């Protein structure tokens, strides 16, 4: 496992390192004694005409420390990688050390997750300790897209509104997190032309009771057949495909006519990454339970004033 671009550099670096260490040793030997003129008490260094520098020898153990570091460096280079691309007798790598640390951590945290291993996701969702762990996991791994309060943002689904693209059963949520989801709305602009797209947009707005041009909506309704394959004949969506319900107030990318036109013309690509590898099933279980719990809580909203009197 060499990072050098050519075989030569391995020898070059290794030789340079060894020569440097040898030079240090030679310097130590040369500098432990010196030859002086007459007075052994003085160093023969004379400054400003008559200022003699006296010899104040360091204790012997001091030079031993230098020798120890010199030999230590040789031992180090024998055991650890450092001498060119020589991997060292200890075969140490940072990747291996990281893997070991992960293993230790897994072993340490396993009992925490083991408690919930057998439990049903709905039971886990009701467990206050599981919720706390779930919240921490959520804040670490999910907030980048779904926001700290899990209400998402433009293009990222709100997880608290009880409206689900791929189904709101805890098992389905767990599957979404484990294996990820890929939502694909094809671009229909070229096939339909701008006028037909605008008609469709008005029809879609009419489905959820928004202001619309009735004439265009009527024309759009006829063309909706090609949308019905995914969104259903009534526009109610299909959780099997992740096709959103177009008749409710929830809009992933925006409800304005301009936005809907853009959505139909260019299509949309949504990607929820898979977390099976990254987090492992034990953590995902707690996350799924936490997210499921969020949507449950939303059903019986308690206003702030009411909590205050408790």
Neighbours of 52 (CB within 10 A): 13
- Residues 222, 309: contact at Cβ < 8 Å? no
CA distances from 62 to 29, 56, 57, 74 (A): 13, 13, 10, 19
301 binds another protein (CB under 8 A): yes
What residues between 49 and 78 interact with another protein by CB under 8 A?
A: 49, 55, 57-63
User: Residue 193 CB, nearest distance to another protein (Å)?
Assistant: 28
Residue from 15, 16, 22, 46 touching another protein (CB under 8 A): that is: 46
> Dihedral of CA 87/88/94/95: which sign?
positive
Of the listed pieces 144-152, 164-172, 180-188, 272-280, which binds another protein according to CB under 8 A? 144-152
- Work out which of 82, 88, 152, 168 binds another protein, going by CB under 8 A: 152
Interface with another protein, residue 23, by CB under 8 A: no
**Ramachandran sector of residue 274 (left: φ over 0; alpha: ψ -120 to 50; beta: rest):** beta
Tell me the site size for another protein, rule CB under 8 A: 44
The Cβ of residue 286 has, within 10 Å, a number of other Cβ atoms equal to 27
Q: Which stretch binds another protein (CB under 8 A): 48-56, 74-82, 114-122, 199-207?
A: 48-56
Task: Tell me if 8 contacts another protein by CB under 8 A.
Answer: no
Backbone phi and psi for residue 254, each to the nearest 5 degrees, phi listed first: 125, 150
The CB-of-204 to another protein minimum distance in angstroms stands at 18
Collapse the DSSP code of 44 into the 3-class scheme (helix H, G, I; strand E, B; otherwise coil) and give the result. Answer: strand
Note the residues at the interface with another protein (CB under 8 A). 31-38, 40, 43-49, 55, 57-63, 139, 143-145, 147-149, 151-154, 156, 301-305, 307-308, 310
């Amino acid at each position: 496992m060499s990072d050098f671009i050519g075989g030569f550099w391995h020898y070059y670096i290794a030789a340079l390192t060894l020569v440097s260490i040898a030079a240090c040793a030679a310097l130590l030997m040369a500098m432990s004694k010196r030859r002086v003129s007459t007075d052994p008490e003085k160093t023969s260094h004379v400054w400003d005409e008559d200022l003699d520098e006296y010899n104040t020898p360091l204790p012997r153990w001091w030079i031993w420390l230098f020798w120890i570091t010199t030999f230590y460096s040789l031992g180090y280079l024998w055991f650890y990688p450092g001498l060119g691309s020589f991997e060292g007798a200890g075969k140490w790598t940072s990747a291996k050390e990281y893997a070991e640390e992960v293993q230790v951590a897994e072993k340490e945290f396993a009992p925490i997750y083991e408690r919930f291993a057998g439990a049903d996701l709905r039971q886990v969702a009701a467990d206050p300790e599981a919720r706390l762990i779930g919240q921490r996991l959520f804040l670490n791994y999910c907030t980048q897209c779904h926001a700290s309060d899990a209400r998402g943002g433009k293009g990222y689904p709100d997880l608290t509104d009880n409206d689900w693209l791929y189904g709101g059963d805890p098992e389905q949520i767990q599957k979404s997190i484990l294996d990820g989801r890929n939502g694909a709305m094809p671009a229909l602009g070229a096939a339909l032309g701008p006028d037909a797209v605008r008609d469709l947009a008005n029809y879609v707005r009419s489905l959820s009771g928004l202001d619309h041009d009735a004439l265009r909506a009527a024309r759009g309704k006829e063309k909706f057949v090609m949308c019905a394959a995914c969104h259903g004949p009534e526009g109610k969506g299909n959780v099997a495909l992740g096709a959103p319900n177009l008749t409710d107030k929830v809009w992933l990318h925006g409800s304005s006519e301009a936005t809907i036109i853009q959505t139909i013309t260019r299509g949309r690509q949504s990607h929820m990454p898979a977390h099976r590898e990254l987090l492992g099933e034990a953590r995902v279980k707690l996350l799924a339970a936490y997210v499921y719990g969020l949507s449950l809580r939303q059903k019986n909203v308690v206003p702030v004033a009411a909590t205050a009197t408790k």
